Amino acid sequence: MPPNDPLHRALQVRGLAVAAAKRDLVDTLEAEQAASAAFAAAAAAIRREIAVASDPQTGDAAVDALAAWLPRGRAAEARAAAILAEAEATTGQARAVLAAARTAEASIAALLEQRAAEEAVEQARREQAALDEVALRRHAANALPTPD
């Protein structure tokens, strides 16, 4: 196939699309991982503050500090959870885009393979026709003339 064949060019373009989709997926996975870490840190901060305030050796000041801080801590946790959910959704979309890009690339590759197989069959048919023609000519040349 010539390099300027439209299907080959389409396969190259689809390959570039797959590579771009992979890069995008890596980016979204990194963002998701960062969001997950932020959520885990916010949740851990709440658990830590509750543990400190729950310690019988701490005074009422620790409980009062927790009561004052807890709404901000819960709000930070909720924001982190929302960001994580958005990052997970974005990652899901990136996975879908990659799957679609891979499918498109595979479809074009299958078309190229099918076309190559059809061309191979046609070439074999032409070769067989040529062999048959040679055999007919030889048979005709070797045939004995019939007496009248």
Residue pLDDT, tens place only, 120-147: 999 999 999 999 999 998 888 887 666 6
Global pTM exceeds 0.85: no
- What are the DSSP E strand ranges found in the chain? none
Identify whether 121 is part of a domain. no
pLDDT of 3: 63
pLDDT of 18: 98
Angle at 67 between CA 66 and CA 69, to 5 degrees: 60
pLDDT of 142: 81
pLDDT of 141: 82
Identify whether 1 is part of a domain. no
Domain range enclosing 10? 6-111
6-56 pLDDT, tens digit each: 999 999 999 999 999 999 999 999 999 999 999 999 999 999 999 999 988
pLDDT of 140: 84
DSSP 8-class letter at 58: S
* Residue 82 pLDDT exceeds 60: yes
Identify whether 123 is part of a domain. no
Identify whether 34 is part of a domain. yes
Identify whether 142 is part of a domain. no
Band of residue 1 on the pLDDT scale cut at 50, 70, 90: low
Identify whether 42 is part of a domain. yes
Identify whether 147 is part of a domain. no
Distances in Å between the alpha carbon of 52 and those of 64, 65, 74?
12, 10, 16
Cα separation, 87 vs 131, in Å, equals 65
Angle at 22 between CA 18 and CA 26, to 5 degrees: 170
Identify whether 12 is part of a domain. yes
pLDDT of 146: 63
Contact 81, 46 (CB under 8 A): no
What's the total number of domains in the chain? 1
